[in-house]
Amino acid sequence: MVRPDEAVEALLQEFADLLAITDGDPYKIRAYENAARTIAGYPADVSHLDVESLREIPNIGRSIAEKITEYFTTGRIEALERLREEIPAGVRELVKIPTLGPRRAMVLYTDLGIASVAQLEDAIQSGLLEEQHGFGPKTAANLLHGIELLTQSKGRIPLRDALATAEEIIVHLSAVPACMTCTYAGSLRRMCETVGDVDVLAASTEPEPVMDAFTRLPIVAEVIARGPTKTSVRTATSLQVDLRVVPPASWGAALQYFTGSKEHNIRVREIAVRKGLKLSEYGLFRVDDDSLVVSETEEEVYAKLELAWIPPTLREDRGEIEAARTGRLPRLVTVADIQGDLHTHTDLTDGAATLSEMLAAAQGRGYHYYAVTDHAKNLTMQRMTDEKMLDQRSRLRMLADTTDMELLHGTELNIEPDGEVDWDADFLAGFDLRVASIHSRFGQPRKAMTRRLVRACENPHVNIIGHPTTRRINQRPPVNADFDAVFEAAAATGTALEVNSSPDRLDLPDDLILRARHHGVKFAVNTDAHAVAQLDFLRYGVGTAQRGWLTPDDVINTWPLEKLREFVAAKQERLTPAGVPHRRAPRRT
């Protein structure tokens, strides 16, 4: 079920996109984008707030506040409806193509009459698009790739949205007396970055009451099918959810079977067959007499196959079977291992919460240390200055005695097209920690993009490369770079690569984490939080890190602060040219 704040976020972002299509006021567009981001990170339910209360939220002016209250009062925003009528639905669909912006979508409609993704694809294939000024062969190729990404993403929703739906269902079903236990399975339990549908598993000796409760949930818009052990529904957001109810004695076998992946289960079943056994959702049975061997727990099922229990995030047939057989499964990093967040923002730049609010929230999570890394000055839209950054550092020092956490003053630098970053070496040396990320010019050629990232790794003051591929799931493709060359540079220079926990990013993705780990890279699992509520994103980053087989030793923000400081200092000492003065970061901010 879409939460009120998420619904408002989507509407405000749509308003901004439609304004961009109609060539609206850039400041107004920016205002709606900022408001959408702020509401997304707001910790309370905004549906209960009046106009004046909404205006107390950063980035929410009177006009936007009135639109929010209008939505919760009437179920619609009249100004948004007028914009929707002004812009054809096909053009709005074009905007969803990751490599096509709002204004260019409108150009395609007004100049070529293209009003759908299918028409755009036809125009590219026929060569018509290349005849249009500003749409050459390279642009056409990028658009085809964008259409491919859009097609692949249809029907799949981000991990966060699927998890929110599943957890809401589990809360309701767990309250049913007949339900003995309940959880989610499938790709969601494996923490895949997107989910096609949600699998929920329940144990009960009385399936009917559980099925009844499931079909009556408020989020259910349609019952697709109902049977004695499986019921499928579609939610109001068009997500399919399948509920399977099994006998309590079969719980472990069912959980293993419905967690998958398909490839993992095939390998497990092959092992069973070689032992004269067969595995199903009801248990592990002997083939010769169909007698039950084990079924109650996953651990028992794997043990009878002479395998250690395999964490769900590893079940992708990427070597976990062999590791389980030979005792080489890693001790995966967990949320509890994370000692501090090394990439966060405040309202000094594009965050929605104050420095004090973010620190209090981090303290509440039990962190041992915490880094504030607001954007640097080359990202001009954030209006950062040297004076603002130094003032924040002073404030952080003053707050240091009010918390048990060690406070680190950092920044998120911009990796420019040539690989340079904001500020000179002397100014950069004053920070405790520096994250460097790409925020523009995503379409650079492969060789240039590779060099850009490698040069950033070679900078003695850059400690972490933030969201390295720059991708946004279902929205923007990754940059084109030789990532193995980047991984080599990161390992050689002592530069950590980020596993960005934002559910829109999850960057590095798990497949690249596996490759980077092979090169000896270290990682930082950060939230990139722009609001208090976004500190909870950590669970998604940790899930992605687990899928990449990362252990606490691989992740620098599981380390004690002293070891983290040594990691930062070691790079600076190793890469700073002889005779070039530099100062070490202060022991305490």
- From first to last of its 589 residues, the chain has per-residue pLDDT tens of 457 888 898 899 888 888 887 766 788 888 898 888 888 777 778 888 999 999 988 889 999 999 999 999 998 899 999 888 887 777 777 877 877 777 788 788 888 888 788 888 888 888 888 777 778 888 888 888 778 777 765 668 899 999 999 999 999 999 999 999 999 999 999 999 999 999 999 999 999 999 999 999 999 999 999 988 999 999 988 889 999 999 999 999 999 999 999 999 999 999 999 999 999 999 999 999 999 999 999 999 999 999 999 999 999 999 999 999 999 999 999 999 999 999 999 999 988 899 999 999 999 999 999 999 999 998 877 789 999 999 999 999 999 988 999 999 999 999 999 999 999 999 999 999 999 999 999 989 999 999 999 999 999 999 999 999 999 998 888 999 999 999 999 999 999 999 999 999 999 999 999 999 999 999 999 999 999 999 999 999 999 999 999 999 999 999 999 999 999 999 998 887 653 334 333 333 3
Are 31 and 136 contained in the same domain? yes
CATH number for 47? 1.10.150.110
Domain end (from 111, 135, 153): 153
142 & 162 share domain: no
Over its C-alpha atoms, the chain yields an Rg (Å, rounded) of 26
Q: How many domains are contained in the chain?
A: 4
User: 87 and 46, same structural domain?
Assistant: yes
> Both 420 and 525 in a single domain?
yes
Half-sphere exposure (Cβ direction) of 285: Cα atoms closer than 13 Å: 12
Question: Do 497 and 358 reside in the same domain of the chain?
Answer: yes
Q: Which of 280, 308, 326 delimits the end of a domain?
A: 326
Indicate whether 253 belongs to any domain: no
Continuous segment of H or E residues that includes residue 244: strand 240-246
- 225 shares a domain with 272: no
pLDDT of residue 127: 83
In tens, the pLDDT along 34-46 reads 888 888 777 778 8
pLDDT given at position 174: 97
- So what's the pLDDT on residue 153? 58
Strand order in the sheet with 230-235: 181-184, 198-203, 240-246, 230-235, 220-226
Contact yes or no for 298/309 (Cβ under 8 A): yes
CATH number where 322 lies: 3.30.210.10
Domain presence at residue 539: yes
Instruction: Check residue 6 and give its pLDDT.
Output: 81
Specify the amino acid at residue 546.
Answer: Q
Residue 254 counted as domain residue: no
Q: Domain limits at 145?
A: 4-153
Residue 583: inside a domain: no
| Residues 6+ positions from 508 with CB-CB distance below 8 Å | 468, 469, 497, 498, 499, 500, 516, 523, 544, 548
Among 126, 153, 180, the domain boundary falls at 153
Read off the CATH number of the domain in which 185 is found: 3.30.460.10
Same-domain status, 126 and 20? yes
Nearest-angstrom CA–CA distance, 553 and 340:
15
* Residue 449 domain-assigned (yes or no): yes
Is residue 586 one of the residues assigned to a domain?
A: no
Q: Could you tell me if residue 582 is inside a domain?
A: no
Residues in CB range of 529: below 8 A, 6 or more apart: 41, 341, 343, 344, 345, 351, 358, 535, 537
Record the tokens describing residue 9, joined without a space. 């976020």
Statement: the pTM of the whole predicted model exceeds 0.85: no
pLDDT of the residue at 288? 94
376 in the same domain as 459: yes
The pLDDT, as a whole number, for residue 139 is 82
Q: Say if residue 351 is in the same domain as residue 412.
A: yes
Measured distance CA(532)–CA(354) in Å, rounded: 9
| Residues 395, 453 within the same domain | yes
How many beta carbons lie within 10 A of that of residue 227, not counting itself?
11
Tokens 């002397």, residue located: 426
What pLDDT digit, counting tens, does each position of 63-118 carry?
999 999 999 999 889 999 988 888 777 777 787 787 777 778 878 888 888 878 88
Residue 135 and residue 51 share a domain? yes
Please list the residues that pair with 203 across neighbouring strands: 181, 246
The reported pLDDT for the residue numbered 37 is 80
- Residue 543: inside a domain: yes
CATH code (residue 487):
3.20.20.140
For residues 416-455, b (16+ Cβ closer than 10 Å) or e, as one string?
Answer: beebebbbebebbbbbbbbbbbbbeebebeeeebbbbbbb
Residues 76 and 36 in one domain: yes
Q: Which residues contact 401 (CB under 8 A, 6 or more apart)?
A: none
